[in-house]
Structure 1
Amino acid sequence: MSLHKHVDAKSLSPRRLLPPTTTDRSIADRVTIEVLPDNVLVEIFDLYVNHRNAPVNEWHTLIHVCRRWRHLIFVSPRRLGLQLEYRGNRPRTVLFGGFPALPLVITQSRWYASNRALCVDNIVSILVSEEHLDRIFKLDLWNVPSLHWERIAVAMQKPFPQLTFLQLGSKGGEISALSDSFLGGSAPLLRSLRLFGIPFPAMHRLVSSAKDLVTLHLRDIPHRGYISPQSMVDSLSALARLEILFLSFQSPQSRPDPPTRRPPPLAPSVLPALTYFRFRGVSEYLEDMFVRMDAPLLHDLHIEFFMDLIFDVPQLHRFISHPEELRKLRQATVNFSRHYVTITLSHRRTAAGHGQFWLQTRCRESDWLLSCVAQVCRSSLPPLSVLDHLYIMDDRSIPPRWKDVESTQWLELLDPFTAVKNLFLTEDVAIHFGHALQQLGAQRATAVLPALQTIFLKDYRPQGPVQGAIRQFVSARQSSRHPVAIRRWEE
């Protein structure tokens, strides 16, 4: 029987019996956990505390079982990774009630109206106390009420030398920006920094000091907290261990000003460990970033653009052509909904690999959506001539309004996919594609998707409207000796 799965507070009582390992129940009944040596007990405690997603303060249960257990736990704080979690909803004295000086985790996400002010008072009193600065290693304050934000921000204007994890999020209303003296401008041990809706235009000093930073989330950045692409890359270039980057803005107002944009550097900065990057903003911002940076190990890139009439992002093509994992992608998926379109490049479903490129943009007009994806496919993506699977789908729950889309726009979307052998279409998309393909004629039938071999249709019926819409195209391909088969799309 696995202790990992079955250990719990009741089973870890000195008088409780261990699970029998023999069929001889009489022997098992005489063996209690009290006979186990100290080192074995500590291993069991480790399973209970650290290997089952237990709450931070779960070890408190164990110290109330008996004196021996309490002693073993308090003499093994590092081995067990003991921490004290404080939420601010109890007096500060709970941190000193016979406990040793353990690392502190200060966390609060539910600021109930009934005790909101009390929680803020208690947390601020810990943050300003010089006595506890060296113990705070994790600070997680989510949805900080704007009314109390200033007190929290002021309390954090000094160094927290042991801090490894910081998450701050604001809730409702405008809040003041963090200054360059935030955390004393230095966080040498910080490994994860996550700011949500927090303006921090002077972040360069702090981020540049966090040489061991692995995860950086700057999400929902207000316009007044705008950070230029140049400053952003300058900050990131110091982070040799950064693996995960989230960067998103609240509105399309946050964009570079063309007259002040600096020329690109002779050589881009390399982020040697970056594997995951997610961005939300305007295309010009990302273009200015990509001309200044490279990420050779990147294998997941997610982009969400605010809607624009023109998407000219040639640096995107260069940026995602370098990482080896992104060069291996063989499948494209274009997914339309009422107000957005998503383009995904990935490994085929039957192939191993974790690389993915994901791009989404939003718009209320379906013809603009189609024009947008055609622009991106033609000018910004890596060569699509290596993709042999293409899925084009629409969301049935909130389908686009295709009545405003011209047939030529559908054909423009297909132009870059010269190596696609298998085309997968949902029913409504297939009907519109069929009407567009009918206009090609026999001579041009092989110019679109020249390598196409099979069309897979959702809800395929031999005599249905989809079959009728594409019959002329299939016949033209047959006569040109480039036959195309039609099959049911079986997921």
Structure 2
Amino acid sequence: MSNTGRHHASSMAISTLNHDVLLNIFNWYRLGNTTGFDRGWNLERWWYKPIQVCRTWRHLILASPTRLDLHLVCTHGTPITTMLTHSPPLPLIIYYPGRLAAGEEEDVLFALQHRERVHRIHIRAPAASLPCLLDVMDGEYPVLQRLVIHSHSEKPCAASAGTGVQLPTKLQAPLLRRLTLTNVRLPADSELLRRAESLVTLELLDIADSLEHHPAHLVAQLARMAQLERLVVHFRTALPNHAVERTLWGAPTTRAALPRLQLLSFRGGSAYLEGVLARISAPSVQKLFIDFFAQLTFDLPSLVRFVRAAQPSPEGDGRAIQRSQFHAAELHFDAETACMLLDSRKTDRARPGGARTNPVQLRVSCRALDWQLASLAQICGALTPLFAHVEGLTLGLHTSHPKPDANSDCLDSDRAQWHALLRAFGGTKTLQLGGPHAAHILHELLPLPAELLPALQELLPGDDGEPGAGEDEGGLAAFTAEREATGRPVGVVRDWW
């Protein structure tokens, strides 16, 4: 110890460290050399610079490819032919997330031909360029673990047209763990999904609206995926419900058990979703995201059964969707969509940025408020068994809508839809109004039938600081007076943050 009382750490030349210590340092450097921005796809280039430090490091790193998980990254701006010709035969990552530059298509083709070395593929390319790339993949990739292919049109107006791009029938990847396809078809007799026992993530995005994507066909493929944890099925536009229902008559009744599924995300029509949910079980599902296109009717018995069949996790930590245990619901309306959020945890007040997880989120894409109300009223009516324990209800109006004349039929129609919406939430004790147009909700609710919200005890009219939230004191007074007259008074809580 020096006279100042401070310790002096002894210095050591890095060249004196033994190989095991160096390998541990390299491994920690590898794990920390990413920002998460690219989700790890570019992580494996960490070792390019360390091997240039000295011969010892170069020899040590290249002699430990498995321990250090070494890969060669084929990506934009890399001379692929030269790199693969003069580099050791390490596993390959083919990573082209942006527009293919001149000459890069040949580089991708060259890399794809090294099937026994390709671990990951991520390609984004125009639909016109993809067929020649996919044709090369018509065979087995024995070590491929991730396959991500995004097909896009160079002309926005062509996005609504069907795509002729599909994966090769004979493509196989027995170790595949993630499959993400955007605007790319899977052939019905795909070898890839016949050997998909290791698949953990399946994402089918921007699916063309074709009846060849039958619910029973999807379920037959899912039946082989017992390890699946994440399932995303997003259609570009909805298949007509009547067309889907017609194809379900006499369809195979194959069922799929997905014991490890944690997330299910669906975008499309309700008939297709019902056809899938009627044929699968996922007792461990934790997140359910549903986005319906605008449609006239919603019949959702299979969705109710699916949610109610989800069991609490063994730890009792509330992470799984728990059967019939939703305690809070939120219904929000904006310019483009109406959405419903359900939460299984009890909270005294909904706070911005709070801890609610909303394990069930359902959205309907439509613009007119009357259509939004009619859609959510039908959906909430169909899902009423799930609301038996809901005590906190939030109604949020986040955009202005034309106000109908006080004596018009439109006003009566909107009021009837609001009332139909509330009938599904008979156990509500706290009603919270949110959004800059919350006052409009009270105006639409009155007069409120006596049988609605029989258990209501508190009304939270919104933050007075929000534009328009406090503009209708008359509506608030009329609401509380009506409740008083029916013998069911409510308390108004203004400062509830």
Q: TM-score, normalised by structure 2?
A: 0.84
In 2 relative to 1, CA 123–381 (structure 1 residues): closer, same or farther, beyond 3 Å?
farther
**Match 2:151 to one of 162, 166, 170:** 170
Secondary structure at the counterpart of residue 361 of structure 2: strand
State the alpha-carbon separation in 2 of the partners of residues 221 and 203 from structure 1. 17
Compute the displacement of 1:312 (Å). Answer: 1.5
> Shift of residue 268 of structure 1?
4.2
Q: Secondary structure at the match of 2:360?
A: strand
Contact 2:244 2:272 in 1 (8 A): no
1:88–1:377 CA distance, 2 compared to 1 (3 A): same
Query: How far is 1:258 from its partner?
Result: 3.5
Question: What does residue 21 of structure 2 align with?
Answer: 40
Matches within 5 A, 1:30-69: 30-53=11-34, 55-69=43-57
Counterpart position of 2:131: 150
| 1:151 to 1:349, Cα distance in 2 relative to 1, 3 A | farther
Deviation at 1:232, TM superposition (A): 0.5
Residue equivalent to 1:470 = 476
Shift of 1:468: 1.6
> What residue number does 1:292 align with?
279
Confirm or deny that 1:336 pairs with 2:342.
Answer: no
Tell me which moved more, 271-280 or 246-255: 246-255
Q: Aligned pair count?
A: 452
Q: Given the superposition, is the C-alpha separation of residues 240 and 165 from structure 1 closer, same or farther in structure 2, using an over 3 Å criterion?
A: same
Q: Measure, in 2, the Cα distance between the counterparts of 1:313 and 1:220.
A: 23
Q: What whole-Å deviation, never above 9, does each CA across 1:134-163 have from its counterpart, x for those lacking one?
A: 110101102x12332121111111111111
Larger displacement relative to structure 2 (83-92 or 294-303): 83-92
Q: How does 1:451-466 map onto structure 2 within 5 Å?
A: 451-460=455-464, 464-466=470-472
2:334 corresponds to 1:360: no
CA distance in 2, matches of 1:125, 1:427: 55
The one-letter amino acid of 2:104's match is C
Does 1:301 pair with 2:288? yes
Give the corresponding residue for 1:218: 204
Could you say which residue in structure 2 is the equivalent of 1:141?
123
Q: What residue identity is the alignment partner of 1:487? A: V
Out of 130, 142, 151, the residue aligned to residue 161 of structure 1 is 142
Deviation, structure 1 residue 52: 3.6
Deviations along 1:364-384, one digit per CA (max 9) or x if unpaired, are: 321011011010001135431
Determine the C-alpha separation between the residues in 2 that align with 1:349 and 1:487: 18
Post-superposition offset of 1:390: 1.0
**Is the alpha carbon distance of 1:223 and 1:487 closer, same or farther for their aligned partners in structure 2, counting shifts above 3 Å?**
same
Deviations 1:349-406 (A, max 9, x none): 75978561111112232101101101000113543121111111122xx434453452
Say yes or no: does 1:233 pair with 2:214: no
Q: In 1, are the aligned partners of 2:328 and 2:344 still within 8 Å (CA)?
A: yes
1:415 aligned onto 2:430: no
Q: CA RMSD in A?
A: 2.6
Q: Secondary structure at the match of 1:303?
A: strand
CA contact (8 A) 2:326 2:387 kept: no
Where in structure 2 are the equivalents of 1:66-215 lying within 5 Å?
66-87=54-75, 89-96=77-84, 99-112=87-100, 116-128=101-113, 132-142=114-124, 144-172=125-153, 175-178=163-166, 181-183=169-171, 186-202=172-188, 205-215=191-201
73 and 278 in structure 1: CA distance in 2 versus 1, 3 angstrom threshold = same
1: distance between equivalents of 2:346 and 2:54? 54
Supply the distance in 2 between the matched residues of 1:145 and 1:427 (Cα, whole angstroms). Answer: 41
Q: Which moves more between the two structures, 54-63 or 154-163?
A: 54-63
Taking the aligned partners of 1:189 and 1:417, their CA distance within structure 2 comes to 47
Q: 1:283 to 1:31 in 2, by over 3 A?
A: same
* 1:298 aligned partner, one-letter code: V
Where 1:371 maps in the other structure, the secondary structure is: helix
**How far, CA to CA, are the matches of 2:76 and 2:170 in structure 1?**
22
The CA deviation at 1:433 is 3.6
Paired residue secondary structure (2:46) = helix
State the Cα distance separating 1:182 from its structure 2 match.
Answer: 4.3
Amino acid at match of 1:139: I
1:278-322 residue CA offsets vs partner (Å, 9 max, x unmatched): 001111111111111121111111111110111122211111111
Q: Distance in 2 between matches of 1:260 and 1:97?
A: 53
Instruction: State whether residues 181 and 205 of structure 2, in contact with CA within 8 Å, keep that contact through their aligned partners in structure 1.
Output: yes
Q: C-alpha deviations, 1:149-191, integer Å up to 9, x for none?
A: 12111111111111110000112156423255241xx321000
Contact 2:430 2:457 in 1 (8 A): yes
State which of 297, 301, 306 in structure 2 corresponds to 1:319: 306
Is contact 2:327–2:346 with CA below 8 Å preserved after alignment? no
Counterpart CA distance in 1 for 2:422 and 2:438 is: 13
Q: What is the distance in 2 between the residues matched to 1:180 and 1:84?
A: 25
More divergent stretch after superposition (351-360 vs 33-42): 351-360
**Aligned equivalent of 2:374, options 371, 390, 393:** 371
2: distance between equivalents of 1:358 and 1:420?
19
Q: Which residue of 2 aligns with 1:19?
A: none
The aligned amino acid for 2:332 is: N
Structure 1 length-normalised TM: 0.85
Q: Partner of 2:129: helix, strand, or coil?
A: helix
**Structure 1 unaligned blocks of 5 or more:** 1-21
Deviations 1:431-484 (A, max 9, x none): 3443344323xxx43x211111111122349x9543320323313433554321
Q: Which moved more, 1:50-59 or 1:157-166?
A: 50-59
Distance in 1 between the 2:474 and 2:285 partners?
44
CA distance in 2, matches of 1:230, 1:85: 39
Equivalent residue number for residue 491 of structure 2: 485
Determine if contact 1:208/1:236 at 8 Å carries over to the other structure: no
Shift of 1:323: 0.7
Distance 2:401 2:494 in 1: 23
CA contact (8 A) 1:457 1:489 kept: no
- CA distance in 2: counterparts of 1:229 and 1:411, whole angstroms: 35
State the AA in 2 paired with 1:49. R
